[in-house]
Each structure stands twice: as C-alpha cells, then as structure tokens.
C-alpha cells in the first residue's frame, strides 16, 4: 500500500537540506538576526513579485491582518465584512482592533460571494475583507465595485493566495493593503511562522513598519506606540532562497490539479475546483485542492485506510459554527451545506504525479 500523507513536514527540510543548511549557516555565522539585510532583500523581492511599492515582513499572517487593519484606521464601532469560510485569524484580527466581523456567505467557488455583500452593509461598515482561499482569487471586479459604491476600504487576507492572479493582477494587491502568511505548509513557506503586508500606500507602509518594531521609525526613534512583530532574518533568508523554486512549485501543483481533473472529472459525486486553464481570467496556484463530495466522512476513512491523508479545513467548522465565538447567524445556507461535504485531498510540491495518480485511483475505487 502506498503512503501519501496530506503534508510531509519533515520532507520540507530534508528535500532541500543542503540549500537550507547553507542559508541557515550564513545567517547564524553573520549574527544577523533581526531587521538585517536578508529581510530587506526578501521584502524587496516580495514587493517586486507582487508589483507592489512596499512589502513589510512581520511575525505571522495573523499579525499581518491585524497591523494592516490598525494602519487603515479601523477600530471600535466599525464593521468589516468577511466570509465565514475562513480561518479564525481573519475575524480574530478584526475583533482585536475593536471592530466587529460581519460574516458573509461564500459562493460556488468557496470564496466570498459578492452577491451576499451588499445586504450586510450598514452605516458602521468600514471595510470588506476578501479571503483568497486555496490559491484562488475572489471575483475582485464585483467586490471593488461594491466597495467603491459604498466608500469602503478593501483589506485582503491572502494568506493562501500568493501567486494567484485575477485578470493578471496578484492576490493581495487589489485593496489598500494585502496580507500573506508563510506558515510552513504554504506554497511559499518558512520553517516557522512568518507573514507580510503589501501596499502601494506610503502611510500604510510607514505605520505598519513602525508598529511591527515598537513604534520606531527609520531613524530608530520611537515615534508612536508599537508592538514586536518582526519577521526574523533567518526566516526571511529561507523565504528568499525558496523564492528561487516558487514558480516550479506552482507548476507542479497545477500539474497535479490537471491530473486530478483528468482522472476524476466524470465522477458525479465529486465537485472539484476549476482545472488549470479553464478560466482565462484566473491563474490558480492550488495552495489546497478542496473538493465537495458525497459520503464525505466515509470517503475520508476509506482514503485513510489506503494510506492517504486528508483534511477538512478549520476543524470542519465555519466561523459562525464555532460556539465559543457566539455568532448569531442563520442565513449562511451555502456555507452550512459546504461544510457537510468539503474536504482537502493531498496537494503540495512534495508529492509526485504518481502519488496523485494513486489518490485518484483510490477515490475512483470508492465511488465505483
């Protein structure tokens, strides 16, 4: 029996041990740990890659959202519209700047549904937070139109979106600020926590840069209250090195997605994300491959019995379904239905096409 884990964390290092050892040794030998040249180089590379004026490395993806919201002036009394199909970091960041997350429906693509946004807007609404899930970008034309008509800000949670394009524009670059996570399992991941904010706005750049470093400006003066949320040099150097193979990793993921479609597209009990190249206005990176499937729980067990790892995002609950958060939502019907059927099957750059063929073979066997 073949073994295909959902994600092989040890191999993340072992598969590129020599490269990573050289990078780690270089940083440690120089003693350059915090806010040094490796971080500057990585920030410049990220800004260039996303076609943004500024990129600011921070401690993690959650802090990136939180700092972007603070820099945008969002706080007590404000509301921010965010999908319920997201990781808790998105609404938590909204909550911890003193604002209120207003949960919205997702659409057939599992992303924020533009058709559900307008009815959630009130006099308190300050911003919309599209969440670019699974390496796919929302319908940003519609979201931008709604934001413009209602004088709302857009702050993107693109933790899973780096490299994804909508009409040739990068996820994370449509609004006032966009945020990324470099958690190890991301397409571009470090060996710990890491995150970044990108923006074309100089004031947002200055404010986030100050807040991540105890309120210090470029001269080293403390000019405001701040926090400690710096992307350390070691992680920045690792990310800079990994950028060299980032496009290759995306290509492999898209090849795996194409293979899944080739082998599974005729199974009526499955709904898969669009195949690479199916939509001219989208370029998906397939951070995850989230399917909707009949007999989801039985399929999950069957795959495990055949050595295949799977995952149901967010512990199997949308945000409004987490009782401890005390949301009172009874109008998110599609999200409710989605979470009875959605599941992630293996999708990462540590897999081989043979691994993907085996996954497809076992899924076909279950539904045959």
Residue 343 sits in a domain whose CATH number is 3.90.1150.10
- Look at residue 101 in the predicted model and tell me its pLDDT: 98
Q: What is the pLDDT of residues 136-186, one digit of tens each?
A: 999 999 999 999 999 999 999 999 999 999 999 999 999 999 999 999 999
- Considering the domain boundaries, does residue 33 fall inside one? yes
Q: What is the pLDDT of residues 24-66, one digit of tens each?
A: 999 999 999 999 999 999 999 999 999 999 999 999 999 999 9
Query: In the β-sheet with 165-166, what is the strand arrangement from edge to edge?
Result: 169-170, 165-166, 282-283
SS3 content of the chain, % helix, strand, coil (to 5): 40, 15, 40
Query: In the β-sheet with 270-271, what is the strand arrangement from edge to edge?
Result: 270-271, 289-293, 342-345
Q: Residue 246 CB: number of other CB atoms within 10 A?
A: 18
- Grouping H, G, I as helix, E, B as strand and the rest as coil, residue 173 is coil
- For the domain that residue 130 is a member of, what is the CATH number? 3.40.640.10
Whether residue 126 contacts residue 80, with contact meaning beta carbons closer than 8 Å, is answered with yes
- Look at residue 279 in the predicted model and tell me its pLDDT: 86
Domain termination site, one of 244, 260, 277? 244
- Considering the domain boundaries, does residue 327 fall inside one? yes
Whether residue 189 contacts residue 12, with contact meaning beta carbons closer than 8 Å, is answered with yes
177 and 192 housed in the same domain: yes
265 and 235 housed in the same domain: no
The whole-angstrom separation of Cα 335 and Cα 86 is 11
- Considering the domain boundaries, does residue 287 fall inside one? yes
207 and 250 housed in the same domain: no
pTM of structure: 0.96
User: What domain count does the chain have?
Assistant: 2
Phi-psi region of 100 (alpha: psi -120 to 50; beta: other; left: phi over 0): beta
130 and 155 housed in the same domain: yes
Domain termination site, one of 186, 217, 244? 244
Listed residue (141, 136, 138, 122) closest to 287, CA to CA: 136
- Look at residue 1 in the predicted model and tell me its pLDDT: 83
236 and 328 housed in the same domain: no
29 and 97 housed in the same domain: yes
| Domain span at 310 | 245-367
- Look at residue 328 in the predicted model and tell me its pLDDT: 87
**Which uninterrupted H or E stretch holds 91?**
helix 89-96
The whole-angstrom separation of Cα 368 and Cα 366 is 6
236 and 249 housed in the same domain: no
Percent of the chain with pLDDT over 70: 100
Residues of the chain with pLDDT under 70: none
- Considering the domain boundaries, does residue 2 fall inside one? no
């Amino acid at each position: 029996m073949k073994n295909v884990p959902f994600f092989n964390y040890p191999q993340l290092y072992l598969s590129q041990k020599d490269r990573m050892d050289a990078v780690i040794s270089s940083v440690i030998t120089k003693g350059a740990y915090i806010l040094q040249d490796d971080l500057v180089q990585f920030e410049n590379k990220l800004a260039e890659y996303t076609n943004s004026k500024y990129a600011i490395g921070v401690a993690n993806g959650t802090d990136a959202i939180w700092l972007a919201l603070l820099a945008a002036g969002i706080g007590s009394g404000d509301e921010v519209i965010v999908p319920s199909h997201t990781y808790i970091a998105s609404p938590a960041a909204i909550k911890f700047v003193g604002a209120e997350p207003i949960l919205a429906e997702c659409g057939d693509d599992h992303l924020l549904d533009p058709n559900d946004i307008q009815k959630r807007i009130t006099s308190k609404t300050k911003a919309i937070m599209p969440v670019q899930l699974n390496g796919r970008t929302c319908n940003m034309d519609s979201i931008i139109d709604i934001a413009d008509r209602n004088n709302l800000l857009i702050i993107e949670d693109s933790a899973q979106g780096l490299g994804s394009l909508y009409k040739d524009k990068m996820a994370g670059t449509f609004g006032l600020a966009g945020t990324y996570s470099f958690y190890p399992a991301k397409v571009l991941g470090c060996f710990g926590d890491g995150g970044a904010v990108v923006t074309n706005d100089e004031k947002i750049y200055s404010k986030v840069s100050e807040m991540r470093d105890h309120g210090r400006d470029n001269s080293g003066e403390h000019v405001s209250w701040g926090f400690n949320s710096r992307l350390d040099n070691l992680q920045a150097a690792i990310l800079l090195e990994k950028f060299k193979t980032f496009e290759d990793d995306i290509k492999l993921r898209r090849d795996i997605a194409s293979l899944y479609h080739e082998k599974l597209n005729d199974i009526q009990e499955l709904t898969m994300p669009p195949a690479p190249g199916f939509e001219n206005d989208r370029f998906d990176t397939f951070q995850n491959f989230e399917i909707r499937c009949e007999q989801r729980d039985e399929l999950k067990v069957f795959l495990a019995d055949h050595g295949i790892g799977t995952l149901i995002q967010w512990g199997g609950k949308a945000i409004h379904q987490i009782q401890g958060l005390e949301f009172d939502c009874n109008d998110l019907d599609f999200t409710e239905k989605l979470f009875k059927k959605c599941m992630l099957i293996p999708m990462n750059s540590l897999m081989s096409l043979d691994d993907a063929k085996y996954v497809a073979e076992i899924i076909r066997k279950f539904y045959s």
